[in-house]
Structure 1
Amino acid sequence: MYKSLFAFLFLFIAIQIGSMAQVPGFFMKEEQRKVVIPFYPSNSLIIIPVSINGHTPLNFLVDTGVRSNILFSKKLGDALGLEYTRRLKLVGADGSDDLMASVSPINHFDLGPVEGIFQSLLVLEQEFLELESVIGIPIYGIIGYEFFKFNPIKIDYDNGLMTFYKHDALRWKPLFYRKTHLSIQENKPYIQARVKQKDGSTLYPKLLVDTGANHGLLLNRETTEAITMPPLFIESALGQSLGGMLFGYMGRVESLSFANLKLTEVLTSYPEETPFSYVIKDSGRSGSLGAEVLGRTKLIFDYPRNRLLVQRADNFFAPFQFDMSGMTLRKIPNDDNRIYVSEIRPGSPAQRLGIEAYDEVLMINNVPTFFWELSDINKLLRSEQGKKVEVEVRRYEGDDLTKYEDHKFSFELKRQI
Structure 2
Amino acid sequence: MKKNKLFFVLLLMLVPLIGMAQGFTLPKNQKFQKIRFELINNIIIIPLEINGAELKFVLDSGVSRPILFNLSDQDSIPINNVSAVTVRGLGGGEPMKALSSQGNTFKLGNAKNYSQDLYVVLDKGINFSTSLGIPVHGILGYEIFRDFIVEINYNAKNIKLHNPRLYNRKRHKKSQTLPLSIEKRKAYVEGTVLIKDSENISVKLLVDTGSSDALWLFHQPEKGLEIPEKNYEDYLGRGLSGDIFGKRTKVSGVKIGDFELKDAKAAFPYRESYGFIENLGDRNGSVGGEILKRFNITFDYRNGLVTFKKNGNFKTPFQYNLAGIDLQHNGLRYIAESIAGLDGVVREDDNSTFGNVQILLENKTRLSLVPEIIVSGIRAGSPAAEAGLREGDVILAVNGRSVHRYKLQEILKMLNEKEGKRIKVLIERYNKDLLFTFVLKKVFDDD
CA distance in 2, matches of 1:77, 1:212: 26
Contact residue 326 and residue 351 of structure 1 kept, 8 A:
yes
CA spacing shift, 1:351–1:368, aligned 2, 3 Å: same
- Of residues 49, 66, 73 in structure 2, which corresponds to 1:69? 66
Q: Which residue in the other structure is 1:368 paired with?
A: 402
Contact residue 178 and residue 311 of structure 1 kept, 8 A:
yes
Q: If each structure's helix is expressed as a fraction of its own residues, which one has the higher value?
A: 1
Q: Which residue in the other structure is 2:161 paired with?
A: 164
1:265-414 alignment to 2 at 5 Å? 265-274=263-272, 276-277=274-275, 279=277, 281-332=279-330, 336-396=370-430, 404-414=431-441
Deviation at 1:20, TM superposition (A): 12
Deviation at 1:52, TM superposition (A): 1.1
Deviation at 1:318, TM superposition (A): 1.4
Are 1:416 and 2:443 an aligned pair?
yes
CA spacing shift, 1:346–1:95, aligned 2, 3 Å: closer
Q: Which residue in the other structure is 2:194 paired with?
A: 196
Indicate the larger mover: 45-54 or 276-285.
276-285
Contact residue 142 and residue 186 of structure 2 kept, 8 A:
yes
CA spacing shift, 1:246–1:217, aligned 2, 3 Å: same
CA distance in 1, matches of 2:28, 2:167: 18
CA distance in 1, matches of 2:250, 2:66: 33
CA spacing shift, 1:35–1:347, aligned 2, 3 Å: same
Q: Which residue in the other structure is 1:5 paired with?
A: none
Q: Which residue in the other structure is 2:213 paired with?
A: 215
- Of residues 234, 237, 240 in structure 1, which corresponds to 2:238? 240
CA spacing shift, 1:333–1:287, aligned 2, 3 Å: farther
Contact residue 338 and residue 369 of structure 1 kept, 8 A:
no
Deviation at 1:405, TM superposition (A): 1.2
Indicate the larger mover: 247-256 or 267-276.
267-276
CA distance in 2, matches of 1:243, 1:119: 24
Q: Which residue in the other structure is 2:350 paired with?
A: none
Deviation at 1:372, TM superposition (A): 1.3
Deviation at 1:87, TM superposition (A): 1.3
What is the identity, as a one-letter code, of the residue corresponding to 1:71?
A: L
CA distance in 2, matches of 1:147, 1:20: 23
Deviation at 1:276, TM superposition (A): 3.7
Contact residue 101 and residue 117 of structure 2 kept, 8 A:
yes
CA distance in 2, matches of 1:200, 1:326: 30
CA distance in 2, matches of 1:78, 1:159: 31
- Of residues 152, 157, 161 in structure 2, which corresponds to 1:155? 152
> SS of the residue aligned with 1:168?
helix
1:6-85 alignment to 2 at 5 Å? 22-29=20-27, 31-55=29-53, 57-73=54-70, 79-85=76-82
CA spacing shift, 1:224–1:123, aligned 2, 3 Å: farther
Are 1:110 and 2:144 an aligned pair?
no
Which residues of structure 1 form unaligned runs of 5+?
1-18, 397-403
Indicate the larger mover: 277-286 or 339-348.
277-286
CA spacing shift, 1:155–1:348, aligned 2, 3 Å: same
What is the identity, as a one-letter code, of the residue corresponding to 1:343?
A: G
CA distance in 2, matches of 1:301, 1:27: 17
| TM-score where L is the length of structure 1 | 0.88
Deviation at 1:190, TM superposition (A): 0.2
CA distance in 2, matches of 1:365, 1:280: 48
| TM-score where L is the length of structure 2 | 0.82
Contact residue 92 and residue 243 of structure 1 kept, 8 A:
yes
Q: Number of aligned pairs?
A: 391
- Of residues 78, 83, 87 in structure 2, which corresponds to 1:86? 83
Deviation at 1:378, TM superposition (A): 2.2
Deviation at 1:271, TM superposition (A): 0.7
What is the identity, as a one-letter code, of the residue corresponding to 1:158?
A: N
Deviation at 1:382, TM superposition (A): 3.1
